[in-house]
């Protein structure tokens, strides 16, 4: 039997298979969570002209003692049409255009008005122009606002709009087919005999992958018969990625590998030094990538997190497709790592992670109570309570 692949090597081999999908223009309000296909330049500068950063009065020149004669107002969206001369003050609001001739802004709380006269009662700004937002201080026209591969967040969405964009170049979202197989699976909501379990993996995976997917087709549950598996694979022939759950191991009824070979797919790799999730299988047929996940729900969830989600991001051209770790102390001790990289279920409360002692890969209650995975590398030293571990938020 072939040597188990290291986790990092298996992830690298899978991501190397990902050819980014075609580019499409997406209306900007539909772009949230997607990945830019090209660097995004600013089509305008922000702000376009000098603006006031505070409510107060716009003044001209070095005359800082006052009093000043009040002349008009510049409000946001309604600039003052005149010119501020020395000895004059123009009422100005936050975000309003700095009038022609004005050099600085005096805060309203540092003044007193008497008729058409403005008097200084507080302190002068230092330096005098400190309350002015200069034209282009946020970004200049032609400046790169966002890089290719960046995921659009609420803040980057606002930045792109401010830069003059109404649509964005994005990679298409991958179309996915999810095929869960096993004679023991009963359809959702159907009565289950003692030898059956409800088919939960397909729904779980669809929900887990939806943030990174376009269309998701659900196929199954499919029985452990070669003709049924081949028919399901044929039904998934338009998908960019096919996900199977179950049947990827070495038992007499684990038919995913022979079914893929008969269907015409080429096996890329199989079996990873991972717990849970050792039977992971990756194959390819033309442009399609097939990932065979283990049937146990925890194994299926963990391998989807470590492999399928990064693949979907890579197909969209993501700059950083792999999940990002964080480091935190554990509330209880952990034993030394074994011969496979292990991912433990944990509950992170913002201060410490409480590891769940349940390690059975079929135990859904422990998975549902977890909000993170604790990584225990191969041969890792034991960790005492309070020691730092690497983890990933789910």
Q: What is the pLDDT of residues 289-305, one digit of tens each?
A: 999 999 999 999 999 99
Residue 70 belongs to a domain with what CATH number? 2.170.190.11
Q: Rounded to two decimals, what is the model's pTM? A: 0.90
Residue 2, in any domain of the structure:
no
- Give residue 188's pLDDT: 85
- Give residue 197's pLDDT: 81
Residue 364 belongs to a domain with what CATH number? 2.40.340.10
One domain, residues 334 and 305: no
CA proximity to 291, closest of 247, 354, 352: 247
- Give residue 186's pLDDT: 79
Write down the residue that tokens 């993501």 correspond to: 318
Give the residue from 133, 152, 185 where a domain finishes: 133
- Determine the length of the chain: 394
One domain, residues 119 and 64: yes
Give the pLDDT band (50/70/90) at residue 1.
Answer: very low
Q: What is the mean pLDDT of residues 9-19?
A: 97
Provide the domain limits for residue 103.
51-133
What tokens were used for 129? 């122009």
Write down the residue that tokens 């039904």 correspond to: 235
Strand partners, 205: none
One domain, residues 340 and 203: no
Pairing of strands 132-133, 51-52: antiparallel
Q: What is the pLDDT of residues 57-66, one digit of tens each?
A: 999 987 788 8
Whole-angstrom distance, CA of residue 283 vs CA of residue 267: 4
One domain, residues 167 and 37: yes
Is 119 in contact with 66 (CB distance < 8 Å)? yes
CA proximity to 345, closest of 363, 362, 367, 323: 367
Domain total for the chain? 4
Is 84 in contact with 99 (CB distance < 8 Å)? yes
One domain, residues 150 and 191: no
One domain, residues 27 and 116: no
- Give residue 185's pLDDT: 84
Write down the residue that tokens 């700095």 correspond to: 98
Q: What is the pLDDT of residues 125-184, one digit of tens each?
A: 999 999 999 999 999 999 999 999 999 999 999 999 999 999 999 999 999 999 998 888
């Amino acid at each position: 039997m072939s040597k188990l692949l290291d986790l990092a090597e298996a992830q690298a081999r899978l991501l190397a298979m990902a050819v980014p999908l075609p580019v499409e223009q997406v209306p900007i309000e539909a772009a949230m969570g997607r990945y830019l296909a090209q660097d995004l330049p600013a089509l305008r500068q922000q702000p376009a002209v000098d603006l006031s950063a505070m409510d107060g009065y716009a003044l001209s020149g070095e005359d800082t003692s006052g009093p000043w004669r009040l002349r008009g107002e510049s409000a946001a969206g309604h600039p003052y049409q005149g010119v501020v001369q020395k000895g004059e003050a123009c009422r100005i609001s936050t975000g309003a255009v700095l009038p022609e001739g004005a050099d600085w802004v005096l805060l309203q709380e540092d003044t007193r008005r008497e008729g058409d006269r403005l008097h200084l009662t507080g302190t002068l700004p230092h330096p005098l122009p400190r309350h002015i937002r200069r034209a282009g201080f946020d970004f200049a026209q032609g400046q790169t606002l966002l890089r290719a591969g960046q995921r659009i967040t609420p803040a980057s969405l606002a930045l792109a709009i401010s830069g003059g964009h109404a649509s964005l170049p994005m990679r298409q979202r991958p179309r996915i087919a999810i095929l869960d197989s096993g004679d023991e699976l009963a359809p959702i909501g159907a009565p289950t005999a003692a030898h059956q379990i409800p088919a939960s993996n397909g729904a779980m995976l669809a929900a887990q992958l939806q943030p990174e997917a376009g269309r998701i087709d659900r196929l199954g549950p499919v029985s452990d018969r070669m003709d049924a598996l081949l028919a399901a694979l044929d039904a998934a022939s338009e998908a960019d990625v096919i996900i199977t759950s179950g049947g990827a191991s070495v038992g007499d009824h684990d038919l995913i590998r022979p079914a893929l070979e008969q269907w015409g797919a080429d096996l890329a790799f199989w079996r990873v030094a991972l717990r849970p999730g050792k039977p992971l299988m990756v194959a390819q047929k033309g442009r399609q990538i097939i990932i065979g996940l283990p049937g146990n729900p925890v194994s299926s969830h963990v391998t989807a997190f470590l492999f399928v989600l990064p693949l979907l991001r890579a197909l969209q051209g993501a700059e950083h497709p792999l999940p990002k770790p964080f480091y935190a102390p554990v509330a209880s001790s952990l034993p030394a790592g074994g011969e496979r990289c292990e991912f433990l279920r944990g509950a992170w409360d913002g201060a410490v992670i409480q590891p769940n002692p349940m390690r059975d890969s079929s135990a859904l209650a422990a998975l549902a109570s977890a909000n993170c995975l604790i990584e225990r590398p191969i041969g890792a030293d034991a960790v005492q309570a309070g020691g730092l571990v690497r983890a990933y938020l789910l």
